Structure 1
Amino acid sequence: MSDKMEIADTLKAAQSYLNRLKNLNNKIQNAQKQISDTSRETEKNVEVSFGSLLTNLTQILLSRKDDLIKRVQETRNQSLKPLEECQADVYNRIEKTQKLISEGELLLNGTVRNLNEFSEKSSSLGSLPEIPELKEVPYISFQYEPNLKAELLDLCSQFGEVSRIAPVQISQTSEKPGAILVEWHSVENDERCVDIQEFRLQRAFGDVNAEKHLMANFSDCYIGLESQFLVKDLQANQPYSFRVCCKFEGSNEWTPWSLPQVTVTTIKSFSWADNKDFLLANENKIATPIKNLPSLLISDGPQFAVGYSVEFTYLEFDNKCSTIGLIAADDVTHLENIKCKSHNYFALDSTGEIYVDGVKKSTKLPEAAKGLKICFMCELIHGDKVRVNIDTCDKQVTYDWQISKTDKLYFAALLNSPASKIMVE
């Protein structure tokens, strides 16, 4: 019996080992496919690029050659014309002079006796037309700058580059509510990465690895020096593709793109819970009170969590004291205020005052106004304490909050009249 059990355990271990080997083989096949596919695509790009360059250079050089020859011909024709006119005058004078000589010889022989006519014709002798010296007429030539030719040939010899791997790669993607946090890093063996001027992140709807035609849908979502970016306004459970590149100091060209990373967020976007005292719009992200009374608006469930950030925007502001903030509570059904002893809270009044669990803090932020954005960010310090940052108007405050990372967290807003409107993202 023990032998059978030992054999069964061995078979189970062997099957597990076989599965792992098959997984490794699949990874190897995927890697081989990536190398083969990208090399073929790169060969095609090289052929197309050099074919286009060769065509363009040939057209440019032939056009330049034809233009220079045309200039030579124009210069020759313009320069020869006055000489041809002068030559015609000389030929005419030669003909007249030869005729005069013939008549003079006839006079000497006594054949012709019209001396007066001969004397009259001889009066033009000694008058010569002006002919330019050789140094005064064009000496047509062609020249070019040897260094320019060498530079052109050198540029052609260095045109294009084949990269083994892009200098920047996406390192991690993290799900956020209606968003994905994309992080990237530079390749360690690329010495140029110390001179990175800026990064460029793009996204495309769908899986570009499975559907290549979706590559045409990539569009910019971030350009800057940060090595991470929170891409917002994404649909839950829908695949998105991301890629990143960079630009080195002193260069105007972007590097090759990183390997596309495909990911999804399964967490729906932040939204307000249905409330009879508010008019909700834009998928419940925007709320407007319908009464001239203080009314509490709460998130649609405990949507907030440690590691998240939430941004409030006052689209309209009624100049009355309002409050926004975070609530840690198991049940918020009957709450009428954010600042309540029955639960933990982290709140910011529109006056700029900050309250944490009933304690008013000494630091004060700018007062609320139309268009003001306030961002709450929550990070874990240890099991029973988190740290909350509030950012607004380029000012930031940070306080510890005595809650657990497992507490249910809601975001909330207390507004006073229909003249106010708030959006959450």
Structure 2
Amino acid sequence: MGRPLNALGTGFILRMSIEAEEMLQEAKENIEAAQNYKGELQQRLHGLNQAHNQVRGSASQAREVLRCHFEMLQAQVALLLSERLSALLQEVDIIEQDSVRPLDDCQRLIEQGVNTADELLREGEAAILCGIGENDEKLGSFTKKALQIQLDSLPEVPVLVDVPCLSAQLDDSLLPALRERIARHGSVASHPPVLIEELVERPGGVLVRWCKVDDDFTAQDYRLQYRRSTASQYEDAYIGKDCEFLVLHLDPNMDHLFRVCARKEGRSEWSPWSVPQAGYTTLAAHEWRPGSEGYILSSRRNIALRNDSSLSSAGVLYSNAPTYFCGQTLTFKITAAGQPDKRDSLGVCVECNSGGESLQRQRAVCISTKGAVFVNGKEMTNQLPAITVGSAVTFDMEVVSVLPVTNNNINDKGSLKLRVTIGSGSREVVFDWLLDQRVDRLFFGCSFTHPGWKVLVF
């Protein structure tokens, strides 16, 4: 016997309804996918527009720099040539004046002699023309005057080979040398020789890494600058040979722009700047806890000075909050040193233990100023170099395993195994640190028995 007609109709309608809902759901999914696709395309179009603007803008800037530079060179070269011409013409004038002066003196002397000879000739001719009785006196006077003039003495006239003959010596090699230097002067590059490779946030700062992209460019020094995104002027952060630098004292959640350039070996000028990269940190800066007896803190609370010599031990100076977490590098930089002691410590811990004199205790790892490493209060066999002025001690940690909380014991907080790396100088020690509870962040601290120690944390 067949299925009733109304049952068949109901099943057909039900299938149609399900198919319609599926089609509607598929349509909604396609619309959402189309919206996402459109958004991705618009984002890529925005990035493409930025790339166009960078090419066009940098090309216009490069043209302007080239025009200004060569116009300045033309003006300076013209001025230098004019100054050199004036100096050479002045030399000609001086030589001419110095050479003509003795010739003029000689000429005046000869002209004076000619005039005297003319006057003597007139007197002699007049004496001869007079009668014999009349000219005796005149002849005597003429003869006496002729003897005084010394007619056999003539002034010396310089020969032409002894007289200056001015000439201009010009080096024909100047123009070819200039042509060669000008042909090699300046260059145009599609990319700066140095680019920022990575920006990594750190507590209160950003670690900037850069790399050289021009293999033909031999860098002697690098120069890193930064500024707030709202500021107009960059300021220097680093000049040196390293390819990374930690820029500190940055306000959290504030965008900063970073750029880097390089100085070629044997040159004094800097290369073009890299494309500015924006970076920021969400992590608050590491700070020491204020009010701890025996320690003086800097205004930013990142530097602590052990200053009280009257106390045999000032206890442990802890961080203001548990701001250290795994995956981060914690650095202690020693800027001044006092007398070392085996009880001294630099390290991290789970909690602050008021009244403790050292981090050489349970739930803490540390290093003493003598280089001994302690894990949960026990000294390891491996040691690091002793800590002195300029020493930098680093702590790096990563999670190895996490044991979950068991349901059988409500007091069970789980456990945590951390892989700890402590570095000092060129050496480091690596070990596993087992904690009886799971923690996300750790405190850091220091203790110095004797005064004079100053430590920067970052």
TM-score between the two structures when normalised by the length of structure 1: 0.82
SS at match of 2:188: coil
The counterpart of 1:324, out of the listed 345, 349, 352, is 345
Contact 2:224 2:238 in 1 (8 A): yes
The counterpart of 2:432, out of the listed 398, 401, 416, is 401
Counterparts in 2 of 1:232 and 1:375: CA distance versus 1, 3 Å: farther
SS at match of 2:273: coil
Contact 1:202 1:243 in 2 (8 A): yes
Amino acid at match of 1:86: C
Alignment of 1:169-180 (within 5 A): 169-180=195-206
The counterpart of 2:263, out of the listed 243, 247, 257, is 247
Counterparts in 2 of 1:382 and 1:105: CA distance versus 1, 3 Å: farther
Deviation at 1:407, TM superposition (A): 5.1
Deviation at 1:130, TM superposition (A): 0.5
The counterpart of 1:4, out of the listed 15, 19, 24, is 24
The counterpart of 1:125, out of the listed 151, 155, 168, is 151
**Corresponding residue for residue 229 of structure 1:** 245
Contact 1:175 1:266 in 2 (8 A): yes
Is structure 2 residue 373 aligned with structure 1 residue 354?
yes
Counterparts in 2 of 1:79 and 1:374: CA distance versus 1, 3 Å: closer
Counterparts in 2 of 1:410 and 1:335: CA distance versus 1, 3 Å: farther
SS at match of 1:191: coil
The counterpart of 1:13, out of the listed 26, 33, 36, is 33
Separation (CA, whole Å) in 1 of partners of 2:116 and 2:429: 112
Comparing 93-102 and 64-73, the one that deviates more: 93-102
Amino acid at match of 1:281: L
Deviation at 1:367, TM superposition (A): 4.9
Is structure 2 residue 44 aligned with structure 1 residue 29?
no
**Corresponding residue for residue 315 of structure 2:** 295
Separation (CA, whole Å) in 1 of partners of 2:375 and 2:223: 39
Deviation at 1:242, TM superposition (A): 1.8
The counterpart of 1:266, out of the listed 282, 285, 298, is 282
Amino acid at match of 2:228: G
Amino acid at match of 1:228: E
SS at match of 1:268: coil
Counterparts in 2 of 1:120 and 1:398: CA distance versus 1, 3 Å: same
Counterparts in 2 of 1:16 and 1:273: CA distance versus 1, 3 Å: same
Contact 1:322 1:415 in 2 (8 A): yes
Q: Identity of counterpart residues, as a percentage?
A: 22
Comparing 151-160 and 41-50, the one that deviates more: 151-160
Separation (CA, whole Å) in 2 of partners of 1:182 and 1:306: 17
Contact 1:288 1:421 in 2 (8 A): yes
Comparing 298-307 and 308-317, the one that deviates more: 308-317
Counterparts in 2 of 1:155 and 1:374: CA distance versus 1, 3 Å: closer
Counterparts in 2 of 1:63 and 1:160: CA distance versus 1, 3 Å: same
**Number of matched residues?**
409
Is structure 2 residue 400 aligned with structure 1 residue 378?
no
**Corresponding residue for residue 60 of structure 1:** 80
Contact 1:328 1:403 in 2 (8 A): no
* Structure 1 segments unaligned to the other structure (5+ residues): none
**Corresponding residue for residue 198 of structure 1:** 221
Deviations 1:113-153 (A, max 9, x none): 43334434544333211111111111111113322443234
Is structure 2 residue 425 aligned with structure 1 residue 388?
no
TM-score between the two structures when normalised by the length of structure 2: 0.77
SS at match of 1:219: strand
Deviation at 1:306, TM superposition (A): 2.5
The counterpart of 1:42, out of the listed 52, 57, 62, is 62
Alignment of 1:203-222 (within 5 A): 203=226, 205-207=227-229, 213-214=232-233, 217-222=234-239
* Structure 2 segments unaligned to the other structure (5+ residues): 1-19, 402-416
Give the 4+ runs in structure 1 shifted more than 6 A.
417-421
**Corresponding residue for residue 5 of structure 2:** none
Structure number, greater radius of gyration: 2
Contact 2:340 2:450 in 1 (8 A): no
SS at match of 2:52: helix
Deviations 1:303-351 (A, max 9, x none): 243331221547574755434243453x55679463334x3x3211234
Separation (CA, whole Å) in 1 of partners of 2:38 and 2:391: 55
Comparing 353-362 and 279-288, the one that deviates more: 279-288
Separation (CA, whole Å) in 1 of partners of 2:95 and 2:453: 79
Counterparts in 2 of 1:100 and 1:339: CA distance versus 1, 3 Å: closer
**Corresponding residue for residue 73 of structure 1:** 93
Comparing 124-133 and 402-411, the one that deviates more: 402-411
Contact 1:386 1:401 in 2 (8 A): yes
Counterparts in 2 of 1:108 and 1:144: CA distance versus 1, 3 Å: same
Is structure 2 residue 194 aligned with structure 1 residue 168?
yes
Deviation at 1:201, TM superposition (A): 1.9
Separation (CA, whole Å) in 2 of partners of 1:142 and 1:256: 44
Amino acid at match of 2:196: I
Deviation at 1:264, TM superposition (A): 1.2
Separation (CA, whole Å) in 1 of partners of 2:307 and 2:76: 65
Comparing 352-361 and 134-143, the one that deviates more: 352-361
